[in-house]
Amino acid sequence: MERRTARRSWRPGRRTVGLAAAVATCLCVAVLTAAVWNVGRHAQQEQRAAARPAATWSAGPQSMVDTTSDADIRSLRAQGWAVPGLAAQGYTVADVQQLRTGGQPAVALTLHGERGTVEIVEQRGHINPDNPLDGVSGLPVSAEGMHESVISGSHLWVDRHEPWRAVMARPDAVYTVTSDAPAATMARTVSGIVAEDRARVSLPTQQDEGFGATVADGLRKIFG
C-alpha cells in the first residue's frame, strides 16, 4: 500500500505579512516624498527667477543698448559680467552699453572721476589670451604694435599715447581700457579692474535650500 504524503500549502506568517506591508509603505512614502521634493525644487527655482532684477534696457545708437540703471548693472553681474565701476577709486558710472566686438558679446562702460574719464570694454566668449582683440578698434593687438607689459599678474598690451589705452587679458575675459587721466594712473586703474574681476569669479554661489525646506515648499505648491 502506497503512502501518500499530503502537501501543506504555504501561507506567510503574520510577521512576514507585516514586514512586507512595512516595506511597501516605506517605498510609497519615499516615492511621494521624492515627488514633493521635486515640486518644491521647481518652486524654489521659479522664486529665484522672479527675484532677479528686471532689466530696463533701451535702444541706443548703432543697434546698441544703453542704460544707467542700477538694476541693469546688477542683472549684468548676475549673468557673469564684472562691470567694473572702480567706485573705490572715486569713479561713478555714467553709461553702460551692451554690444558686440569682433562677433563676441561685450559690455562698454563710461566712468567719470576727478582725474578724468575711463572707458572700459569688457569682452567675454571665445577669446585669445595670447593675441586678444582690442575692444575699441576690433583688431588683434598683434596688428597694432602695442607695448607688452604685466600689471597685477595680468598680461596686457599698452598704447601710451594720449588718451592711453591698455588691452588686458584675463582667464575668461578681455578688458580694453581707454582714459584721458594721467598715464601715471594706468597701473592703479588696471589693478582696480583686476580686483573687481577676481571678486566676480570668487562670489559665493547661492546654496540650495535644505531637504526639509524643499519638501515644505513642495507641499505648499501642491496644496496651496
CATH number assigned to the domain comprising residue 138:
3.30.200.100
Q: What is the pLDDT of residues 100-144, one digit of tens each?
A: 888 888 999 999 999 899 999 999 888 888 999 999 988 999 998
pLDDT at 63: 39
Structural domain of 97: 58-201
- The mean pLDDT of the chain is 78
DSSP state of 103: T
**Residue 50 above 80 pLDDT?**
no
For residue 147, give every residue at least 6 positions away whose Cβ sits within 8 Å of its Cβ, in sequence order, or none: 157, 158, 159, 160
Q: Is residue 212 part of a domain?
A: no
**Residue 178 above 80 pLDDT?**
yes
Answer yes or no: do 149 and 102 share one domain: yes
Answer yes or no: do 124 and 185 share one domain: yes
Q: Supply the pTM of this predicted model.
A: 0.61
- Sheet of strand 65-67, all strands in order from the earlier edge strand to the far edge: 58-59, 65-67, 92-101, 104-113, 116-123, 173-179, 164-170, 154-159, 147-151
Better-predicted residue by pLDDT, 34 or 12: 34
Answer yes or no: do 120 and 105 share one domain: yes
For residue 85, give every residue at least 6 positions away whose Cβ sits within 8 Å of its Cβ, in sequence order, or none: 73, 91, 92, 93, 109, 111, 196
Report residue 46's pLDDT band, with 50, 70 and 90 as the boundaries: low
Residues 83 and 72: their CA atoms lie apart, in Å, by 11
Q: Percent of the chain beyond pLDDT 70?
A: 71
Answer yes or no: do 97 and 26 share one domain: no
Answer yes or no: do 20 and 92 share one domain: no
Average pLDDT of the segment spanning 193-206: 70
Average pLDDT of the segment spanning 177-182: 93
Q: What is the pLDDT of residues 66-101, one digit of tens each?
A: 566 788 888 888 888 999 999 999 999 999 988 888
Answer yes or no: do 47 and 99 share one domain: no
Answer yes or no: do 119 and 175 share one domain: yes
pLDDT at 56: 41
Number of structural domains the chain divides into:
2
Highest mean pLDDT among 46-50, 197-201, 218-222: 197-201
Q: Is residue 8 part of a domain?
A: no
Torsion on CA atoms 20, 22, 27, 28, rounded to nearest 10:
110
Q: Is residue 209 part of a domain?
A: no
Report residue 206's pLDDT band, with 50, 70 and 90 as the boundaries: very low
Q: What is the pLDDT of residues 17-41, one digit of tens each?
A: 667 777 777 777 777 777 766 776 6
Average pLDDT of the segment spanning 195-201: 82
Answer yes or no: do 43 and 88 share one domain: no
Answer yes or no: do 30 and 100 share one domain: no
Q: Is residue 210 part of a domain?
A: no
Answer yes or no: do 39 and 111 share one domain: no
DSSP state of 138: -
Answer yes or no: do 19 and 34 share one domain: yes
Answer yes or no: do 45 and 149 share one domain: no
User: 24 to each of 13, 27, 40, 157, how far by Cα in Å?
Assistant: 17, 5, 24, 69
Q: Is residue 90 part of a domain?
A: yes
